[in-house]
Amino acid sequence: MAGVGAVDAQPAVSGRVLGVDPGTRVVGYAILDVPNPGRFDYVECGVLAVPARDELSARLLELATSLREIIEEFRPAGLAIERAFHGINAASALKLAEARGALKLVALEHGLAVSEYAPAMIKRAVVGRGRATKVEVQARVRLLCRLGTTPKADAADALAIAICHVQASRLPNIERDRRADLRRQLARRRRRGSR
């Protein structure tokens, strides 16, 4: 799968990209056209929502069906999805993994290339730092996509994921930079702890 980790430079993206912010009740999606490597045009973004009271399996089926309809309507060449992160409890992580699996399966059934990006990498590619807030991400994607209004948080996250995918070939050192930032933070904590 292309895009997993993005430690090395990736091939330039072109065509149409579908960005997905996975969830078990709300899934953000975004469509970008990529006329030239590193450049993109906004097409659409939104959220797919299902009632929280429904069983998980029913919600996943409905979300997968909705994503299938989006893929069939917009015909993207690839799907970019947020990689699972470790900051949530085990039960939530398992449910999110099921949602990611269902959404990735739909994409693969349609022949889409699937790329995954860590949350910090997405924020760094869009805002410039891996610890950006949701509000900062929303403001930045609104600016980058030249939107009249700020998209909902899940739609903004999907836009950020798609933008990260478009920019990934231009950002080969992003993971190395993230590790360097973590080392600096750890060194600061150690210095504070030794006082």
CATH number (domain holding residue 20): 3.30.420.10
Average pLDDT value for residue range 83-97: 82
Query: Residue 151 and residue 139: Cα distance in Å, rounded?
Result: 9
Predicted confidence at residue 9, as pLDDT, reads: 40
Tokens 């924020």 -> residue: 123
Structural tokens at position 162: 């798609």
Predicted confidence at residue 190, as pLDDT, reads: 82
Q: Name the residue type at position 75.
A: R
* Residue 1 counted as domain residue: no
Structural tokens at position 106: 């739909």
**pLDDT, tens only, 135-171:** 999 999 999 999 999 999 999 999 999 999 999 866 6
Domain encompassing residue 47: 15-193
Query: Known catalytic residue: 98?
Result: no
Q: Which of 45, 49, 57 is nearest to 25 (CA)?
A: 49
* Residue 3 counted as domain residue: no
Average pLDDT value for residue range 112-130: 92
Predicted confidence at residue 11, as pLDDT, reads: 58
Predicted confidence at residue 4, as pLDDT, reads: 33
What pTM did the predictor assign?
A: 0.82
CA separation, residue 17 to residues 41, 51, 76, 103, 114 (Å):
10, 27, 5, 15, 10
Mean pLDDT value across the chain: 87
* Residue 8 counted as domain residue: no
Query: Known catalytic residue: 8?
Result: no
* Residue 9 counted as domain residue: no
Q: Which one from 154, 175, 177, 181 is the annotated catalytic residue?
A: 154
Q: 89 or 35, which is more confident?
A: 35
* Residue 53 counted as domain residue: yes
* Residue 4 counted as domain residue: no
Query: Known catalytic residue: 21?
Result: yes
Predicted confidence at residue 38, as pLDDT, reads: 84
Q: Which one from 33, 41, 72, 82 is the annotated catalytic residue?
A: 82
Q: Where are the beta strands (DSSP E) in the chain?
A: 15-21, 26-34, 41-49, 78-82, 113-117
* Residue 6 counted as domain residue: no
Query: Residue 81 and residue 67: Cα distance in Å, rounded?
Result: 13
* Domains held by the chain: number: 1
* Residue 35 counted as domain residue: yes
Residue 177 labeled ligand binder: no
DSSP 84: P
